[in-house]
Structure 1
Amino acid sequence: MHKLAQLDRRYVWHPFTQMRDWLRREPIVIVSGQGAVLRDTHGREYLDANASVWTNLHGHNHPKINAAIRRQLKKIAHSSALGLANEPASLLAAELVHAANAVCEKRGRGEREHGKMRTAVSFSPLPPFPLSKVFFSDDGSTAMEVALKLAHEFARRTARGKKPKFLSLAGAYHGDTVGAVSLGHIDLFHQAYAGLLFKSDRVMSPYCYRCPFNRAKPARADARDYRRCNWECVGKVETKFAAQKKRGNPYAAMVVEPLIQGAAGMIPQPAGWLRRVAEIVRGNGAQLIADEVMTGFGRVGQASSLSPVTGNERSRKHSTDRLEACPTLFACHQEGIQPDFLCLAKGLSGGYAPTAATLTTQEVFDAFLGEYEEFKTFFHGHSYTANQLGAAAALASLQILQSPASVRARQRLEQTLREELKTLWSSPNVGDIRQVGLIVGVELVRDWRTREPFGLRERAGVRVCEAMARRGVLTRPIGDVIVLMPPYCTTPVQVRRIMGALRDALREVFGKPTAPSAT
């Protein structure tokens, strides 16, 4: 066993990891990376199929981001944001505000220039609640914590509720700090800390594949494509708001992961759900908090990416809910939604540094203005808030993201994934294939006809991912959902390698397919 592996086993406690299992084998110790490839202490190479847990955008060791960090490092690595400003954070805040308040307009290939940024499409402000203020923090949990505190205090100060209450979705995950956990509804993660948490309400989330209101029989297609329902999931949200209003204490805010819930199992929302829910939130005078920690910065592809992966190329039943195809940086923009709080992390720095931001409105900002002795200050902060190295990396990442070359690369990767995913339908243990842009979840089941899940002790998802690792592809499951979220630099050849490893892993774990793949 390599010395570094020995040190890890002796001293390191890993996140979301059963350490008894971890200590039974030699860990993979990563020492370098280039593009979509990681290299370990033994010189073995792996494709980074989940972008180092959803963080890396442009690939490892990207020359432009490396150079930006080196330039900043020659100036200063960090100075406090408490009472001081700094150059890269100020520039980054301006760029984030511009990006968050822009919606794509397909007008040929006209270009705009903003600072050093250029893009092959034009943008215009997205009304009616422009995000204009940026509060920096360290990671997704703290970005959510900032939004939660601001929304709570804003509701109290504007007399919208003496005891502000929040609504979030079943299966929600918004981080691991106490406030963020209070908004989460994954019992496996959160039940142990129940005594620490404040109470928030939950409402049914759209999960077309296992929705009790979906009357359709299983088919070899994304469940959003063949669903038969009457938007009962939206009706549940409306009922919740009405009931809370009747109690005399309307909700202060609703928290959502736009377009797709990540830690719940890569569960996408049917097109139109987000817009309908946003209308309910606005109609009840509440605020909308968008957790785009995972979905932000191009992960959801272009608007047309809401089309599901099917095995038979049938057109989408609810196509009228889709917007015109257009590259977007944020999931909210795909349905023309502007939240009151936009929480960003993970890909913000391109996967280089723990950097996060919470964007909000002038109205929220103004509620915290006052004289010194009034104590209206927002009493919250972090030692490394607005760190210069992280901000420099984020600025470079944004420049890359909005270049025509990056837009084309993301579109090519999205389409390659879509085509290659169809080959997985041949396995009777693939129940649902869910793709939103460059985010993929493959749900494994005992039999696709019945949707019967595997037992917990069978560890189906873990075994498949271990088999993929032996074939040089790294990812991490969510239960029995295999997650694929490769960096944007991943080539078509590398995508085919990832899919080949997954198909081989399915055969190794479950045996050769014996059931027909379609009715």
Structure 2
Amino acid sequence: MPEDRKLEIEQYNSLSRLDAQHHLHPNTNPIQVAENGAMIVTSGEGIRVRDEDGKSYIEGLAGLWCASLGFSEERLVEAAERQLRELPYYHSFFGRAPVPTAKLAEFLSRITPNSLTKFFFACSGSEAIDSAIKMVWYYNNAIGRPQKKKIISRLNSYHGVTVAGASMTRIRINQEGFDLPIERFVQVDCPHYYRFAMDGEAEEEFSARMADRLEQTILEEGPDTIAAFFAEPIQGAGGIILPSKGYFDLIQPILKKYDILFVVDEVICGFGRTGEMFGSETYNLRPDLMTMAKGLSAGYQPISAVGLSEEVYRGIASLGGEKGAFGHGFTYGGHPVAAAVALETQKIYQERKIVSYVQTISPKFQGRLRALQEHPLGGEARGVGLIGALELVANKATKERFDPSLGVGVKVFEEAKRNGLLFRNAGDQLLFCPPLIITEDEIDEMFDILGNALDTVAGRL
């Protein structure tokens, strides 16, 4: 580095100012960051992170839904170091594989539901989703159904931000300005009973209506054109929306009836979050393909995977054999360091009985969350396991939302942040997904801060 450049950097008295000049942030208002600077995070311990001023925060969203073992798990650091010394990089192209990558694929075959037998590795949930879409198309070409290519997703779903993934993601900010969605992507309704039920409609009736609407859409589009239905067990970034009662029990027979592949997006729900190893177990889902990431390595290394049923794999393998190769893959997919960390993460989950721990601790979390439904600002509190949301409303009886210009959710977030709690507000929906290692005392601390923030903002409105 030239000496004058080094001195120029040292003249900044704040990394936030330096960041604001040179960093384009994802999913962020760039004008606000340029004007106000970013929050620079310097370290973490347990469920907390610390900023450049030394202020500590409870990370109520586990970073981005992924730091399931918190921010200071030494065993994962050691696993990365060992692998870096042994084999810092290798790929899985051309029939090769690093040791931990091969072991991870075998391990996943033993813990995933519905007899998923083969696993393809990538670096992010978005890459896994894009890969699953391509696999669905490839499979239908392989079995002689070249016209069966449309993909169905749901309003308020989140399936990543690649071109194809963002075409399935049905959140306004992820599509507007990007010329999305592209062709072949079809939207159906969101099974959020609180927000979309008709007056007097029982929850089971609502689920039946959602299933009927799905079948109607399939018939309108043409069953011979619909390739797959993608769904999160719990819709995460769209608001932590739990499926209405009986919804998936009605949806899955429709998919079978029209020979439509069911792709379950477990990127957020997987690896203990719902109180089962996978959200598919929580809701009795039987995926043909499954995407996973985040909790796979507890966020300590970028890694994701697509699980395939034996039937889907055989179709893909037959066409790949005919073409001479399955022509898809990523340079860093199945990276040996990431795979080694993921394997160690899975060992920790098993040794510490993380799923059982979530089952034990989640009543406390859900109880504190649902108590806030009685707050003057509280509309619906919802969740399962260690994931949940509080939706703020202007009128409890009518469920009327606040005028967006008031920024009520932002104000609650800023007040909580001032007092040492980070989470995510999606408009006036407050989203929580803390590290799975959180204790009862830390749950109380988290919700005490949130409750005080709600009181403060309510007093100002």
The TM-score with structure 1 as length reference comes to: 0.82
State percent identity of aligned pairs.
29
Q: What does residue 224 of structure 2 align with? A: 249
Which string of whole-angstrom CA distances, capped at 9 and with x for unpartnered residues, describes residues 106-135 of structure 1? xxxxxxxxxxxxxxxxxxxx4xxx211101
Cα deviation 1:8-35 (Å, max 9, x = unaligned): 1111111111122223435321111111
Of 39, 44, 48, the match for 2:59? 48
8 Å CA contact 1:59–1:489 kept in 2: the answer is yes
Give RMSD over aligned pairs.
2.2
Q: Are the aligned partners of 2:277 and 2:355 in contact in 1 as well (CA < 8 Å)? A: no
Matching of residue 275 in structure 1 with residue 260 in structure 2:
no
C-alpha contact (below 8 Å) 1:69/1:393 kept by paired residues:
yes
Q: Which piece of structure 1 moves more, 466-475 or 77-86?
A: 77-86
| Deviation by residue 1:246-298 (Cα, 9 ceiling, x = unmatched) | x462411111111x111211111023212221121112111101111111111
Following superposition, the deviation at residue 481 of structure 1 comes to 0.6
Task: Look up the match of 1:181.
Answer: 166
In 2, the alpha carbon distance for the partners of 1:461 and 1:440 equals: 15
> For the structure 1 residues 437 and 248, does the alpha-carbon distance in structure 2 shift closer, same or farther, using more than 3 Å as the test?
closer
Q: Which residue of 2 aligns with 1:449?
A: 397
Aligned match for 1:232, one of 201, 204, 209: 209
Matched, 1:337 2:285: yes
Supply the AA of the counterpart residue of 1:329. M
Which residue of structure 2 lines up, in the alignment, with residue 168 of structure 1?
Answer: 153
In the alignment of these two chains, the number of paired residues is 449
Q: Could you say if the C-alpha distance between residues 395 and 483 of structure 1 is closer, same or farther in structure 2, counting changes exceeding 3 Å?
A: same
Given residue 264 of structure 2, which amino acid in structure 1 is its aligned partner?
A
Counterpart in the other structure of 1:322:
none
The AA in structure 1 aligned to 2:176 is: Q
Listed as ranges, the gaps of 5+ residues in structure 1 are 102-125, 217-223, 302-327, 514-519
Residue pairs, 1:484-499, within 5 angstroms: 484-499=432-447
Q: How far apart are residue 3 of structure 1 and its match?
A: 2.8
Structural mapping, 1:34-433, within 5 Å: 34-83=45-94, 84-101=96-113, 126=114, 130-194=115-179, 197-215=182-200, 229=206, 231-244=208-221, 247=222, 249-258=224-233, 260-301=234-275, 328-369=276-317, 374-375=322-323, 377-433=325-381
Q: Per-residue displacement from partner, 1:294-317 (whole Å, max 9, x unpaired)?
A: 11111111xxxxxxxxxxxxxxxx
- Residue 176 of structure 1 and its aligned partner are, at CA, apart by 0.5
Report the structure, 1 or 2, having the larger helix content: 2
- CA deviations 1:422-460 (Å, max 9, x no partner) are 431331211000112111111011121221111222121
- SS in structure 1 of the partner of residue 342 of structure 2: helix
Do 1:215 and 1:227's aligned partners in 2 also have CA atoms closer than 8 Å?
Answer: no
- Taking a change above 3 Å as real, the CA distance of residues 210 and 195 of structure 1, as seen in their structure-2 partners, is closer
Match 1:15 to one of 4, 17, 26: 26
Letter in 2 for 1:96: L
- Deviation digits for residues 122-164 of structure 1, max 9, x if unmatched? xxxx4xxx21110100101110011100101211221234251
Instruction: Please tell me whether the aligned partners of residues 61 and 435 of structure 2 are also in contact (alpha carbons under 8 angstroms).
Output: yes
| Alpha-carbon distance in structure 2 between the residues aligned to 1:32 and 1:154 | 45
For 2:295, give the aligned amino acid: G
Q: CA contact under 8 A between 1:346 and 1:356: conserved in structure 2?
A: yes
- Calculate the TM-score normalised by the size of structure 2: 0.92
Partners of 1:368 and 1:431 in 2: CA distance: 47
Q: Is the 8 A contact 1:56 1:346 kept in 2?
A: yes
Q: Deviations over 1:355-382 (max 9, x none)?
A: 0000102222222335988425321111
What secondary structure sits across from 1:402 in the alignment? helix
Gaps of at least 5 residues in structure 2 are 1-11
